[in-house]
């Protein structure tokens, strides 16, 4: 980053003015460096929700919300989704460059050699009710991985960080598939390492020991692309959680479990599940004819109803992933002979109506990655409660890349925000008889 410019901050309360350095990145907004403000003025800055705050310097993912642009290590998501597969994208996010053929082969072999989980992991599942939400199971089981790998928990050791990254990438598909199998009461399927990463995952989810699983290359490619679209996304809520957890020196498995917990929220990765429930609801109430009623409810602030899968903190234009997700959705439905899928038609009509409605236009609310994700995942055979688990699986590489970047930061410190305190001033405790 370069620092030629500065900002002057003056105070009306007599606090001496101060100059703050402005750092310029390679793309995107400049940042005002406020690190010395508290020491110089005794004042904190205030930015709940971090609407105007850059929490770190990063080289991994860049989003231009106004243009609707998303780059992983400088490569547009539209190109990666067409020319690469998910493992290549993982290599890129982790290493900063796309792999050569040899690097890709070596990386894939390393990952596919770690796909099994410790056999004792199976016992964690039986402690959950069968109808437990798979995300609850996933949070628990990923956190429990730290109980098995005492050989690689020194996060200052790059080799430990590397093997932990490989283990997490390799075991997430297995754990997500196990969470699903436990949920539906089917036996766990062991990984089959001669399959591709995504084919192996689909077989562990949809295959059974009773018959040979038939890999459908079109559907596998669609899932692989969906995972590319979800792989990383700058400093979103779950990534910020992983960074903050990692800043305390917590082990990578615990940090990723914290990221999964954060992603679960309906305002974040849980939106794909919430969006499908929303579409199902409208469909049950009459479908396309009832879109007007629904939109009226969304506009009524007191209703608390949101158009799930719409809006984004950064994108004030079309989320480029939503466009690619809609195309993938169409390909999958076409492959499965479901082009008349009523929910897909409903979703496209709802999108069209919303994009022409002033309420959404004025607030720059566009479809985000979660809007079509549920429809295509349902068509692939995933039950609604599994959607966010698939999102967590895909985002694991982004969390690991961002965590690794944070750990390698030369002046990395534990994250410890302050507050604006508006509670009680000091007071005396009275004996209970006098309260
Ligand atoms: C993801 O951060 C990331 O990068 C996340 C993610 C990733 O890859 O990691 O992209 C993945 O989480 C995508 C977002 C999925 N969430 C949803 O689809 C849930 C529905 N969306 C909203 O909850 C909301 O849009 C957020 C949470 C996504 C963004 O909220 P912001 O930035 O805090 O914006 P806001 O709530 O201040 O909204 C601004 C205005 C408000 O109206 P006014 O008070 O100005 O009148 O827009 C309204 C909001 O009420 N609004 C919506 C809306 N989203 C915002 N109104 C109706 N429906 C919506 N979906």
Q: Which strand (E) or helix (H) includes residue 75?
A: strand 75-76
Q: Which of 246, 239, 199, 242 is closest to 221 using CA atoms?
A: 199
The yes-or-no answer on residue 47 being catalytic is: no
Q: Are 393 and 173 in contact (CB under 8 A)?
A: yes
Supply the pTM of this predicted model: 0.94
pLDDT of residue 407: 94
Q: Which strand (E) or helix (H) includes residue 182?
A: helix 158-184
Kindly state the DSSP code that residue 367 receives in the 8-state scheme: B
Q: Which atom of ligand 1 is the closest one to the Cα of 238?
A: 9
Which phi and psi angles does 70 have, rounded to 5°?
-135, 125
Q: Are 311 and 268 in contact (CB under 8 A)?
A: no
| Ligand 1, atom 44, residue with closest C-alpha | 301
CA of 308 from ligand 1 middle (Å) equals 8
Report CA-CA distances (Å) from 205 to 108, 184, 209.
Answer: 20, 10, 11
CA of 199 from ligand 1 middle (Å) equals 33
The yes-or-no answer on residue 302 being catalytic is: no
Q: Which of the following is catalytic: 133, 183, 230, 312?
A: 312
| Ligand 1, atom 16, residue with closest C-alpha | 267
CA of 267 from ligand 1 middle (Å) equals 7
CA of 258 from ligand 1 middle (Å) equals 22
Q: Which two tokens stand for residue 11?
A: 């105070």
Q: Which of 60, 367, 366 is closest to 231 using CA atoms?
A: 60
Name the CA dihedral angle for 343, 339, 348, 315, rounded to a multiple of 10 degrees: 100
Q: Are 307 and 297 in contact (CB under 8 A)?
A: no
Q: Which residues of the chain have pLDDT under 50?
A: none
| Ligand 1, atom 15, residue with closest C-alpha | 268
- Percent helix, strand, coil in the chain, to 5, is 55, 5, 40
- Give 164-167's long-range contacts (Cβ < 8 A, gap of 24+): 164/251, 164/252, 164/253, 164/400, 165/94, 165/252, 165/400, 165/404, 166/110, 166/111, 166/114, 167/114
pLDDT of residue 109: 97
Report CA-CA distances (Å) from 380 to 216, 223, 240, 248, 395.
Answer: 10, 8, 30, 39, 19
Which phi and psi angles does 61 have, rounded to 5°?
-130, 140
| Ligand 1, atom 51, residue with closest C-alpha | 311
| Ligand 1, atom 48, residue with closest C-alpha | 363
Q: Which atom of ligand 1 is the closest one to the Cα of 49?
A: 33
Pocket of ligand 1 (CB under 6 A): 233, 236, 267-269, 271, 298, 306-314, 363, 365, 368-370
CA of 53 from ligand 1 middle (Å) equals 17
Pocket test for ligand 1, best of 312, 321, 324, 387 (most atoms within 8 A of CB): 312
Q: Where are the alpha helices (DSSP H) in 185-310?
A: 197-206, 217-229, 237-247, 252-263, 271-284, 291-299
CA of 315 from ligand 1 middle (Å) equals 10
Q: Considering just the CA atoms, what is the radius of gyration of the chain in Å?
A: 24
Q: Are 112 and 193 in contact (CB under 8 A)?
A: yes
Q: Which of 384, 369, 372, 382 is closest to 348 using CA atoms?
A: 372
pLDDT of residue 149: 87
């Amino acid at each position: 980053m370069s620092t030629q410019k500065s900002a002057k901050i003056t105070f009306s309360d007599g606090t001496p003015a101060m100059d703050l350095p402005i750092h310029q990145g390679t793309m995107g907004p400049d940042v005002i460096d406020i690190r010395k403000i508290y020491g110089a003025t005794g004042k904190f800055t205030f930015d709940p929700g971090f609407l105007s705050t850059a929490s770190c310097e990063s080289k991994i993912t860049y989003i231009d919300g106004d243009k609707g642009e998303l780059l992983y290590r400088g490569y547009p998501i539209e190109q990666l989704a067409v020319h690469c597969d998910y493992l290549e994208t993982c290599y890129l996010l982790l290493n900063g460059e796309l792999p050569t053929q040899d690097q890709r082969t070596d990386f894939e072999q390393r990952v596919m050699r770690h796909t099994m989980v410790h056999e004792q992991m199976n016992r964690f599942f039986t402690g959950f009710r069968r109808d437990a939400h798979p995300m609850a199971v996933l949070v628990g089981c990923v956190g429990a991985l730290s109980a098995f790998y005492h050989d690689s928990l020194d996060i200052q050791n790059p080799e430990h960080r590397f093997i932990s990254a490989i283990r997490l990438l390799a075991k997430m598909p297995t754990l997500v598939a196990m969470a699903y199998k436990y949920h539906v009461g089917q036996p766990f399927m062991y990984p089959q390492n001669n399959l591709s990463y995504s084919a192996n995952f689909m077989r562990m989810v949809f295959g059974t020991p009773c018959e040979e699983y038939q890999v459908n290359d079109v559907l596998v490619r669609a899932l692989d692309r969906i995972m590319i679209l979800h792989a990383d996304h700058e400093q979103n809520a779950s990534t910020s959680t992983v960074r903050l957890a990692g800043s305390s020196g917590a082990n990578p498995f615990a940090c990723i479990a914290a990221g999964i917990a954060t992603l679960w929220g309906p305002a974040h990765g849980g939106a794909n599940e919430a969006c499908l429930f929303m579409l199902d609801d409208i469909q049950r109430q009459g479908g396309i004819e009832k879109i007007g009623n629904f939109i009226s409810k969304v506009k009524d602030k007191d209703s608390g109803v949101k158009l799930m899968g719409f809006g984004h903190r950064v994108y004030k234009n079309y989320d480029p992933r939503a466009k690619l997700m809609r195309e993938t959705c169409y390909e999958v439905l076409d492959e499965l002979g479901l082009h008349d899928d009523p929910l897909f038609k409903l979703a496209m009509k709802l999108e069209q109506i919303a994009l022409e409605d002033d309420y959404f236009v004025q607030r720059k609310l566009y479809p985000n990655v979660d809007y079509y994700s549920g429809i295509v995942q349902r068509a692939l055979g995933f039950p609604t409660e599994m959607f966010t688990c698939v999102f967590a699986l895909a985002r694991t590489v982004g969390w690991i890349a961002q965590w690794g970047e944070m750990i390698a930061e030369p002046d990395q410190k534990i994250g410890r925000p302050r507050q604006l305190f508006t509670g009680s001033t000091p007071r005396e405790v009275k004996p209970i008889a006098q309260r």
